[in-house]
Amino acid sequence: MGGTTVRALDGVDLDIPAHTFTVVMGPSGSGKSSLLYLLGGLDRPTAGEITINGERLDQMDENALALFRRKTVGFIFQSFNLVSSMSAFENVSFPMQFAGISAAARAEKSRSLLGQVGLADRGHHKPSELSGGQQQRVAVARALVNDPGLIFADEPTGNLDSASGIAIMQLLSDLHKSGRTVLVVTHDPRMTRFATHKIFLLDGRIVTEGQYQAAVSEAAQASPG
């Protein structure tokens, strides 16, 4: 950034076992999105190794990375990232156009996925006609179109009230129970109740839960309210 080097992640060394529901906790700026973007093949590390399902992400060329993103990972963004001019149904079916799936099969799959996230009757609504929680459900359905084994979510509940947030986490938890590996980054401690594994980040480094809690309560005392 300008003349300064920002180390968004520094010496991070971690293992995420398959079929777990891992929650990465960290305050704003601690490197959560950076970590998720690296693991999702949306960004490349300056140094270090990333191995997913036995394959080295940091050594893949752009074509291999694009294939990895399409086949292996379902990504859910904090801000939903839905196309505003498209209905919920179109938002879900759109990515399948690039996977060589017939129109009839796309339509059936989209209907089934919208049903799975509880939006069977909302397919024709545009994002602006849906609540935040419903928009995030559409984003979850879209992340599932190519049957990914990995689901990565960046603050999926950040823009939601707590009831909608818990419902989204419940949905992600169901996906974990159906055999997927789920990784969620968040700063919201209420979201850890579904986690099988927890990782704590401070200033781009992995710390223990004790170190993390101490830093969080210190920050709260420094700026009460």
Ligand X SMILES: Nc1ncnc2c1ncn2[C@@H]1O[C@H](COP(=O)(O)OP(=O)(O)OP(=O)(O)O)[C@@H](O)[C@H]1O
> Binds 47, which of Mg ion, ligand X, none (CB < 5 to 8 A, cut-off by type)?
none
Q: For residues 61-98, b (16+ Cβ closer than 10 Å) or e, as one string?
A: eeeebeebbbebbbbbbbebebeeeebbbebbbbbbee
> Binds 187, which of Mg ion, ligand X, none (CB < 5 to 8 A, cut-off by type)?
ligand X
Least separation in angstroms between CB 155 and ligand X: 6
The site for ligand X, by CB under 6 A, has a size of 12
| Residue placing its CB nearer to ligand X in the complex, 104 or 222 | 222
Which of 22, 30, 33, 110 is in the footprint of Mg ion by CB under 5 A?
A: 33
Order of strands, sheet of 21-25, starting from the edge strand that comes earlier in the sequence: 73-76, 150-154, 181-186, 21-25, 197-202, 205-207
Least separation in angstroms between CB 32 and Mg ion: 5
List all residues 6 or more positions away from 183 whose beta carbon is below 8 Å from its beta carbon: 16, 22, 23, 24, 36, 39, 150, 151, 152, 153
Contact pattern from residue 174 through residue 193 relative to ligand X, giving x for each residue in contact according to CB under 6 A and a dash for the rest = -------------x------
Question: Taking the CB of residue 147, how many other CB atoms lie within 10 A of it?
Answer: 10
> Binds 197, which of Mg ion, ligand X, none (CB < 5 to 8 A, cut-off by type)?
none
| Residue placing its CB nearer to Mg ion in the complex, 34 or 110 | 34
Of 183, 164, 160, 167, nearest in space to 33 by CA? 183
Question: Taking the CB of residue 59, how many other CB atoms lie within 10 A of it?
Answer: 10
Residue 197 in contact with ligand X, rule: CB under 6 A = no
> Binds 127, which of Mg ion, ligand X, none (CB < 5 to 8 A, cut-off by type)?
none
- For residues 21-60, which are near ligand X according to CB under 6 A? 26, 28-34
Residues in the site for ligand X, rule: CB under 6 A?
A: 1, 6, 8, 26, 28-34, 187
